Chain A
Amino acid sequence: MNEESKPRAGSNYKWVGSNTPRPDGVDKVTGRARYGDDMILPGMLHAKILRSPHAHAKIISIDTSEAEVMKGVKAVMTSAAIPDHPLSEPPYLPIINDFHDISRNVMAREKVLYDGHAVAAVAATSESIARKAVKLIKVEYEVLPHVLDPLEGAQPDAPILHEHQYTAGTDPETSQPSNVFRIISGERGDLEKGFAEADEIIEREFRSQPVHQGYIEPMACVAAASEDGTLELWTSTQGHFVARTLLAKLLNMDMAKIRVTASEIGGGFGGKTTIYAEPVAVRLSQMTGRPVRMAMTRSEVFRATGPTVGSYCKIKIGAKKDGTITAGHADIWYQAGAFKGSPIGRAVDTFFSPYNIENLKATGYDVCVNRPKAAAYRAPGAPMAASATEGVLNELAKRLDIDPIDLRLKNAVKDGDQSLMGTKHSRIGLIEVLEQAKSHPHYSAALEANQGRGFAVGYWLHGGGLSSASANLHDDGTLSIATGNPDIGGSRSSMRVMAAEELGIDVELVKPIVADTGSLGFSYLTAGSRTTYATGMAVVNATREVIEKLRELAAKKWDIPVEDVTWDSGQAVPSDAHKGDNKPLSFGQLAGMATKMGGPIAGHSEINATGQGAAFCAQLVDVEVDPETGFVSPKRHTVFQDVGRAISPDYVEGQMQGAAVQGIGWALNEEYIYDDQGHLLNTGFLDYRMPVASDVPMIEPVMIEVPNPNHPYGVRGVGEPPLVSAPAAVANAVENAIGITMSSLPLSPPKILKAIETGSSS
């Protein structure tokens, strides 16, 4: 489907690679930009959700009668208002959308499965009334035993969340219900032979806790249903087309009757890739005939929206004295949360993918536990697996007395090598990344007392997929570019740059917008680092269609064959044979002629983008550990990443810097903390401590450009790769500072203090 997207000849770009004014920037620094909770509609009601106080309980009864008669209450609903759906059948896709599960996650049906699980909802004339009304709903529960840990949840005697769930992917077929939904494995070579060839074998266990995406804007939406069956929805989402499709299927509605507009989005990082409160707002709007606003509190965001998975991992790596890795074996258990679908396939693919190792096996277990259903978080499933491998390599380099970057260089994958899950690499830039890191002054800078330096590498195969774009020419010589991807971190800027580059016109003449679901072909999520790659490709195609039509217009005007018209630097130029009286026609002149000579001009493109490339990112981190308190201060942090080609360099740097700091939080502070009843204890930013400005140093981004040959501008996805290696690099730095192997994230002060005092992390 990418036939039209051939690389553009030459690299003397006018706009690509330069920093241009951001089209949505002024609105965002002046408070004009409208996010999920900034939509106010006439007659709007306010909704609130009643949430489970138990980690696992049967719902015996729900009495809504008192809430229903409260003054100002307009509607009360339970799961009875959400259609039920049968369980999905195998074969299961990597990302499972099982409407049986989605309907139960949106509102609990037979059981509540985690603290914070939605049970009922109220729409009222004010938020204050709605808040009071949900407290009048009486729910009778029968509390059941619960399980939070993925390894415990995988045991045969664990409390079972879903009596209908049997482990898929096991042989022979299991006969007992299990919290393990499926097992995904990858294998090549001969493990036994590989470990026999090794001079040094390291075997370790690693744990990580769920961390939340931590977007600053809580989920919020406004649903406005009409009596004619149509629905308008305004929501903060990473994919309004996906939200539309999920809603239509869940609520048995026609897709064409649902028009979803993506608000400006206040961060997502994977967390806003599904639906939570939207169906509830929609049903309440249908029940009342009025617009319904639903805005989660921060506590609701923590309790009921996906964090990433927590993990338990066993890993074994063997190497020869010269550093050649001969074998790798890893097993990882991921907490799916209350419903199946954790990213174990990504874990299997991530473990060893930066390295060319002959003998490998990796297995992932998808385990349901009594926590909120895990959602994607920036390179879902990868940082935990990379932390295990890179942690072992940190130790291996020391045992073999090999420079840690040399150890990676010795084993690094090259063009043509294949990942464990079968991705054959085209042009990749891992070697370039490693060499840059090695020659960077940071690598040889002196360390002070109590300081340690960590290094780690991460691999990520970014997304491609379905994208649509249209390019609409206006008769004043300006162009609108519409895509279906919410812009989280500056993608409108990149779309505009690519369109202006194609046309050879000033970026200010191009206005990019995010179109609603009724106005454009399907566009998959702004996720998987795919937007500038895949949607950018659609924008290039749509713009090239406009150019084709402008050439045709010029040919008509000059009365010459279209083959004799070329497009060059913003104008149609006749071939030498036709130059005579025909002066080149500029983009603006042609735009003005179009409506008088044939009609309006627009281009569009709907693609399934393939050819995405692997992106590698390495990080160098210096930390200082206070031996008195166990407190870790990051001192210096450099990120080296193959970015393909940076369309908007400032914003590529921003992705690298932001991910680095998320990785610092993941490695040092952030975790979900539960009591023994399965209640989440840290449901606010005071106790769920994300890095603040005073916690971190400047983050130096080193962009390495090894263009992806499959994209017209060489783009690789840039958002996710820098999170894959960040927690590992920080953890390795801590480990090197205190000289003790550390295997359980986060490396919070009590753990470090204990390790220093006892000389061991266990």
Chain B
Amino acid sequence: MTKHNITATINGDETEFTCSAEQTLLDVLRGELQLTGTKNGCGTGDCGACTVIVNGRPVNSCLVLGAELDGANVETIEGMAKGGELHPLQQKFLDQAALQCGVCTPGILNMAKALLEKNPDPTETEIRFGLAGNLCRCTGYDKIIRAVMDVAAEMRASGS
């Protein structure tokens, strides 16, 4: 089977990989690159567990082909903490118990990060609709929504 040679920036590092035409970005991340922090909850774009950020936009990595990524900038959960410092969303999720089993958490963190970059002052309803593509079966969403609202307020207050 023909393999495609792809060069993409993944979490800041220029990364070369090969993939077949049928492999998704999720397959590439988890399989070829062994970045298993991105989770596979459905493989059909319905649960959001595999959400990563490609060229600044959140995507379901199970719905993107690996071969489409030449020259792309991909951010996964493994790149969210910088230099040993957790991202404010990561820290707030811990502080406010916004996770239980944690398997939806990488996808939700990426989606929330993208949401706040686009809309730094979201209402509760905007956050709920912004995260509506990310299923969580444990928390009932309450503590997740509150954590995102609180991070948004703190980031606005600190001007970051």
Contacts and interface: CB of A to CB of B under 8 A. Distances in A.
Given A28-B102, A693-B131, 4 more contacts: A31-B106, A266-B103, A685-B47, A695-B132
A750 interface: no
Q: Give the dominant DSSP class at A's interface.
A: loop
Interface in A667-712: 684-686, 690-696, 698-699
A267 B20 CA distance: 32
Of B38, B77, B96, most A-chain CB atoms within 10 Å: B77
Interface in B88-102: 90, 93-94, 96-97, 99-102
B122 interface: no
Nearest to B22: A128
Closest 5 CB pairs of A and B: A31-B37, A266-B103, A28-B102, A661-B140, A650-B97
Interface in B27-68: 30, 34-44, 46-47, 49
Nearest to A36: B103
B76 A31 contact: yes
B142 A216 contact: no
A684 B40 contact: no
A218 interface: yes
Contacts of A266: 39, 41, 101-104
A32 B37 contact: yes
A264 B42 contact: no
A509 interface: no
Nearest to A213: B137
A651 B133 contact: no
A216 B47 contact: yes
A325 B93 CA distance: 47
Contact of A216 (B30, B35, B135): B135
A218 B135 contact: no
A640 interface: no
Contacts of B101: 215-217, 264-268, 488-489
A80 interface: no
A749 interface: no
B141 A661 contact: yes
Contacts of B43: 297-298
Interface string A471-515: 000000000000000001110000000000000000000000000
Of A26, A128, A298, A694, most B-chain CB atoms within 10 Å: A694
B103 A693 contact: no
Nearest to A663: B140
A30 B144 contact: no
Contact of B100 (A654, A661, A691): A654
Nearest to B20: A128
19 contacts: A24-B102, A28-B105, A29-B90, A216-B47, A216-B104, A216-B136, A267-B103, A298-B44, A488-B100, A488-B101, A654-B140, A658-B139, A685-B135, A690-B135, A690-B137, A693-B128, A693-B136, A694-B132, A698-B142
Contacts of B44: 298, 684-686
A267 B104 CA distance: 10
Contacts of A699: 140, 142
A761 interface: no
Interface residues of B, number: 58
Contacts of B47: 216, 298, 685
Contacts of A31: 35-38, 76-78, 80, 106
B81 interface: yes
A295 B93 CA distance: 28
A295 B39 CA distance: 12
Interface of A: 19, 21-22, 24-26, 28-35, 37-38, 40, 128, 213-218, 264-269, 295, 297-298, 488-490, 650-651, 653-654, 657-662, 684-686, 690-696, 698-699
B97 A30 contact: no
B69 interface: no
B102 A654 contact: no
B142 A30 contact: no
Contacts of A650: 96-97, 143
B14 to A, nearest CB: 20
B41 A216 contact: yes
B109 interface: yes
A308 B109 CA distance: 31
A693 B138 contact: no
Nearest to A700: B142
B81 A298 contact: no
Contact of A693 (B37, B38, B102, B132): B132
Interface in B122-158: 124-125, 127-129, 131-146
B39 A658 contact: no
A95 B147 CA distance: 40
B99 A28 contact: yes
A267 B76 CA distance: 22
B128 A694 contact: yes
Contacts of A128: 20, 22
Contacts of A654: 97, 100, 138-140, 143
Of B30, B133, B143, most A-chain CB atoms within 10 Å: B143
Contact of A489 (B80, B100, B106, B109): B100
B103 A29 contact: no
B132 to A, nearest CB: 4
Of A19, A30, A265, A650, most B-chain CB atoms within 10 Å: A30
Given A31-B76, A690-B137, A490 B145 contact: no
Contact of B80 (A30, A37, A214, A653): A30
Contacts of B39: 35, 216-217, 266
A694 B129 CA distance: 5
A696 B139 CA distance: 12
Nearest to A215: B137
